Chain A
Amino acid sequence: MNFPEELKYTKDHEWVRIDGDTATIGITEFAQGELGDIVYVEIETEGETLDAEEVFGTVEAVKTVSDLFLPVSGEVTEVNEALQDAPELVNSDPYGEGWMIKVAMNDASQVDGLMSAADYKELVGA
């Protein structure tokens, strides 16, 4: 399983790519594998400012529904529109085309609380 070194991770199985004050967020390869075939990604929080740990959307696999938790506080500035018609991108390319949202962070110090690739790998026992 792949856990890119340059990303940060959460215990809720999201990954975060930090670029200045912008965080790009998706779910990990481990998470997509556990969920199975993803059939619907519902994110209706574009433009909203949310706190870390708040639900920013929902991902539905054939059999299950899972909430998506925001790893860092900020405004949801962009949602990956491609997932509307092709939610399976989350399965096929979780760290690339399967990204979910971009967030303008309002507290950059929260990044320090995120997990490294090594820590996350240990968490999922990979």
Chain B
Amino acid sequence: MKDIILKEKHEALGAKMVPFAGYNMPLQYSGLSDEHQTVREAVGVFDVSHMGEFYVRGPQAFDLVQKVTTNDVSKLTDGKIQYSCLPNGKGGIVDDLLVYRIHEEEYLLVVNASNIDKDWDWISSHNDFDAQMENASDNISLLAVQGPKAAEALQSLTSINLSEMTYYTFQIGEFAGAQDVIVSATGYTGAGGFEIYFKNDNAEAIFDAILEAGKEFGLKPAGLGARDTLRLEMGFCLYGNDIDDTTSPLEAGLGWITKFTEGNDFIDREFLANQKAEGIKKKLVAFEMVDRGIPRHDYPIVNENGENIGKVTSGTMSPSMKKAIGLGYVDKDYSSLDSDIYIEIRGKQLRAKVVKLPFYKAK
């Protein structure tokens, strides 16, 4: 079990720490619902330093990244970010990730903590190019400052004009006195805000500065519990739950990052193009419970006759909407909006309805 650099800081703030993806991580501080609401209405700070960071450099860096990811990397320009995934050669997904173009010959890949080793091995094994790879995961800390007041709360710490940054762009500059900090207008909450990457040595100073600067904006530390309910209200996929080595990006609703454009010869292009042409058999859908009950990972999904048609991949009681919501794979026939599906919860078949994402729409 690894410790993140700021472990003691989190404990001093009252965090309940839990093992997650090989790291001791803060699960919650003041309470999941309170942290969730804080992020929706004001601003919260998450330590997500467990995430993995790989640099890919050199004249052929582009070729490697283009090959291993489904999105079209040629569309990126300096300072822009893409959401993407790593196809596994069998139509499934090795991981989902963010691709940052620092410049033409340098990319940063941000991957899930639980998949760092798997991704590293996978990408390395396809490096038939002259691309240099660096696994910087153990040297970089990452704080996600999320919420409608994030830009205001952080502006005093940097000369980068935060309110002018557009979604999925980044800048590298000075932040809270530290150099070479990546400030990225991304997040996993749908609440707006920034993800801030920096060297471990700067972690304490930056974390303290954010807590201090955020005080007057109601900033609070938030844990993995709230991170999960926030992402689920938006319908963002969680690797290991909603996507994995057995689900295709098309089935997962990630067709928008699977680009069959000219020159994008990614692994599984042909397989996925065929799948697209033939039509998928199962599809990840979003649903709301009509009957009373809370869907959970792995609960069976059945039709009105009780026949199995799929399973739940994520579910919770939405703290923002006080409704039970979930994601799950169902047979294509049951995937259209407003379809009636039934979730088997403790032996009972409870009615749910297929709905459109996101579950939560910002006011």
> Could you list which residues of chain A lie within 8 angstroms of chain B, going by C-beta atoms?
36-37, 39-40, 42, 58, 60-63, 65
Contacts and interface: CB of A to CB of B under 8 A. Distances in A.
A55 to B, nearest CB: 10
Interface stretch (B28-36, B104-112, B214-222, B335-343): B28-36
A58 B316 contact: no
Interface string B287-306: 00000111010000000000
Interface in B250-298: 292-294, 296
B32 A65 contact: no
A54 to B, nearest CB: 14
B75 interface: no
Given A36-B28, A36-B32, A40-B294, A62 B225 contact: yes
A36 B346 contact: no
In this complex, the interface size class of chain B, counting residues with CB under 8 Å from chain A, is 10 to 19
A60 B293 CA distance: 9
B294 A65 contact: yes
The 7 A-B pairs with the shortest beta carbon distances in the complex, nearest first, are: A39-B317, A37-B33, A62-B32, A60-B294, A36-B32, A62-B317, A37-B32
The residue among B32, B317, B319 with the most chain A CB atoms within 10 A of its own CB is B317
A37 B37 CA distance: 13
Given A36-B32, A37-B31, A37-B33, A62 B316 contact: yes
Contacts of A61: 32
Please report whether the interface of chain B is mostly helix, strand, loop or mixed according to DSSP.
mixed
B319 A62 contact: yes
B70 interface: no
Interface of B: 28, 31-33, 225, 228-229, 292-294, 296, 316-317, 319, 324, 346
- Name the residue among A37, A58, A62, A65 with the largest chain B CB count within 10 angstroms: A62
23 contacts: A36-B31, A36-B32, A36-B225, A37-B31, A37-B32, A37-B33, A37-B319, A39-B294, A40-B293, A40-B294, A40-B317, A40-B324, A42-B293, A62-B32, A62-B225, A62-B229, A62-B316, A62-B317, A62-B319, A63-B32, A63-B228, A63-B229, A65-B294
A65 B324 CA distance: 13
Given A37-B33, A39-B317, A40-B317, A65 B225 contact: no
A58 B347 CA distance: 13
Contacts of A60: 294, 317
Contacts of A58: 346
A36 B346 CA distance: 22
A104 to B, nearest CB: 25
Nearest to A34: B16
A42 B317 CA distance: 14
Contacts of B317: 39-40, 60, 62
Contact of A63 (B225, B292, B293, B346): B225
A50 B324 CA distance: 30
A53 to B, nearest CB: 18
A38 to B, nearest CB: 10
A7 B221 CA distance: 36
